[in-house]
Structure 1
């Protein structure tokens, strides 16, 4: 006879409680680290306060962090496989218990959101409910072998040992081997295994294409065939790529709350719980250290200085400037231009006024494309309030479009003026041919903004350009014009 056919009250007397862990089990994340990065994001100047809290113990640390942060439990990455196990247990009439080392305030909010639990055991006061403490609490409540336990970590090993049956969900490395010694494993669920592709997405390796801007000064100086300079460029490209990946990982950690409310960013590895916050906090400083070590040893100190300025500006952008109207897009344009400045430093080549002016207007236009795309999505949904994490209203998109198109056309004007610069005649045998690049650039800017206006633009216009066949053809023709002019 099917278990569902029995009255719930009868089943509850013969089936032991199903106890579920939270961090890393029901949640594809760790709430302690979630609160930590949320605290740094919200109060960056007070991060040193975490140290004395840690010295007083994990329970005190969690109590202080839960008061200082506001985690949106509805947007957290829950593991659907664990929810299925819980719902199966409820259908069998079992008592469902949430036993977690996370603070009780958060546990209660999660329980209220899911409406799946009959009882909550959690950290409170000075007692951090993990490992042996959790085992003792459950044994006092239900006795040895009087409950089944779903967990994932090494801290859960003593709890599994006291359980009737142990269920492992995405177990930590080595935890499964230790748990199997007990001989009571009923099930191992592998629903969230990270892979190399997740780290590639987190590091945004496709975004390294932007670092090709480092070679612009070399192209402008017509030294692109110099082997020694190309080697310098390759090292600079690698260093800037590692530095940028470190920035992307840290930004993803700080932006978890906002990303989880975004149409596409919620699928990013850290936001979706595919990669752990703990691992991200380990990897980003390693990438940063590698970038600056290689740069300091093999490249001019000026390049290291520009890369340091780039890193500091990105952190200022992530922590504050991205939420300031107009400042955010100007900073984005500056970050693109700093790649060109870094290239000039790596090759020890002077940068012309025309190169910097052109890049500033062009990348400001692209930054505004990015903002317009976000606002267009909010406008399409009928939202009226400010977009999350930004200083713009959906109704601003028409002004954003005007400013963006104007900035793009200003870049064309700078290019046209550059053709009449006396120094241009010294660099090119046929400088008049460069005029052909102006209609090509006008075509690309106009088409890009029309696509953006129709809501067909990728979140990142640079990635769109790399994947768009028309953009690639225009880019090839643009390069051909300068080659013929030389």
Structure 2
């Protein structure tokens, strides 16, 4: 079923999960990205923190800063449901496995919840622990639960009604198996278009400069090799764009145009972004080895380093910004000559 009845029992609480449900993103992943940006060396402590338990890991991350609730991409459908529940006089609660300080901050920022509970020392509010907590708080079947993950199955089983938000078909089946009174809202959108947008293919045209040396030398026999080099450059560039978007999430969400980018808008998760960047770089590395030119390998390595630094820092420095962009254009031409290989015409380098 996809519709909820218009009139609800006012004694039944509406309990909402945070990550992936109220928020279209995961605050744990965002906290890790924030740590990577602010204190990259602190990432070395992650194994130690994780050895203490997941709740303790989240606590350590929140100690270094709560993810700003104002920047989180919220689900309009969930907000509408919570608002409707409040108008009906139903108690509303935000209950999440995220650190209790993060959950409280989000609840206070939205102003939509009567109660807020999160993980604390020795308690990770997820799965069976969350189900037991909610049953103890609201009674058996005394609440409806909105979630998005298969890990919510014990909670849905304990709830009066299971409600999935943006869930995959598999998660919907899990919810229906756990609770016959299952409802589904906000069906998941196709991610292919969002992934393509995150790759920014319109920027690949700059890499057409790789073909200039071959065209100038009229060596069309080297075209297939340069085409492989071109794809390697495009994938490398896309990997950098994805990494940059992940590290710039708070700034992008505060920007009127950039807030609609796939990661900032919550259309793609941080985990998806990391996987995309890793795959792009791996395939680019394989293609680079296929090209086989040591000079090309060196140039694409320099290109990756410069574009990464440009995205993180150099683009904010006016003079360095111009010099870096000019250098990147030169690297593309040099890489095309190295891939062919052909002698680089002096007039191409200006």
* Equivalent residues in 2 for 1:374-453, closer than 5 Å: none
Match of 2:89 in 1: 93
* Residue 323 (structure 1) shift: 4.1
- 1:49-448 matches, cutoff 5 A: 49-190=45-186, 192-221=188-217, 223=218, 226-352=219-345, 354-356=347-349, 358=350
The answer to whether the 8 A contact 1:86-1:116 is kept is: yes
Conserved in 2, the CA contact under 8 Å of 1:232 and 1:299? Answer: no
2:304 and 2:240 map into 1 onto residues whose CA distance is: 7
Contact kept in structure 1, 2:104 and 2:117, CA below 8 Å: no
Larger Rg: 1
Query: Structure 2: which 5+ runs fail to align?
Result: 1-5
2 CA distance for matches of 1:279 and 1:249? 10
Partner of 1:386: none
Q: RCO (CA 8 Å, sep 6+): is it higher in 1 or 2?
A: 2
**Structure 1: segments with no counterpart, 5+ residues:** 5-10, 359-486
Q: Distance in 1 between matches of 2:120 and 2:240?
A: 35
**Structure 1 CA distance for aligned equivalents of residues 204 and 47 of structure 2:** 35
The aligned residue for residue 37 of structure 2 is: 41
Greater fraction of residues in helix? 1
Q: Kindly tell me: are residues 63 and 353 of structure 1, through their superposed partners in 2, closer, same or farther at Cα, counting changes over 3 Å?
A: farther
In the alignment, the residues of structure 2 paired with residue 278 and residue 227 of structure 1 have an alpha-carbon distance, to the nearest angstrom, of 41
Any idea what SS the aligned residue of 1:326 has? helix
CA contact (8 A) 2:66 2:101 kept: no
- Aligned to 1:149, what secondary structure does the other structure show? strand
Superposition CA RMSD, Å: 2.1
The answer to whether the 8 A contact 2:46-2:57 is kept is yes
What's the offset of the Cα at 1:350?
Answer: 3.6
Give distance in 2, aligned partners of 1:262 and 1:227. Answer: 45
Using a 3 Å threshold, how does the CA distance of structure 1 residues 321 and 59 change in structure 2: closer, same or farther? farther
Distance 2:248 2:169 in 1: 28
* Other structure's SS at 2:22 match: coil
| Structure 2 equivalent of residue 368 of structure 1 | none
Asked whether the equivalents of residues 237 and 307 of structure 2 are also in contact (C-alpha less than 8 Å), the reply is no
| Contact 2:161–2:182 under 8 Å retained in 1 | yes
Cα deviation, residue 182, structure 1: 2.8
Question: Alignment partner of 2:95: what SS?
Answer: strand
Give yes or no for contact 1:217–1:344 (8 Å, CA) kept in 2. yes
TM-score by length of 2: 0.92
Q: Tell me the SS of whatever aligns to 2:178.
A: coil
Q: Runs in 1 of length 4+ with deviation above 4 angstroms?
A: none
Q: Is the Cα contact below 8 Å between 1:135 and 1:159 reproduced in 2?
A: yes
Kindly state the Cα deviation for residue 173 of structure 1 after the two structures are TM-superposed: 5.0
Distance 2:312 2:202 in 1: 24
* CA apart distance, 1:45: 3.5
SS in 2 for 1:120: strand
User: Which of 14, 26, 43 does residue 30 from structure 1 map onto?
Assistant: 26
Cα pair 2:165 2:186 within 8 Å, conserved = yes
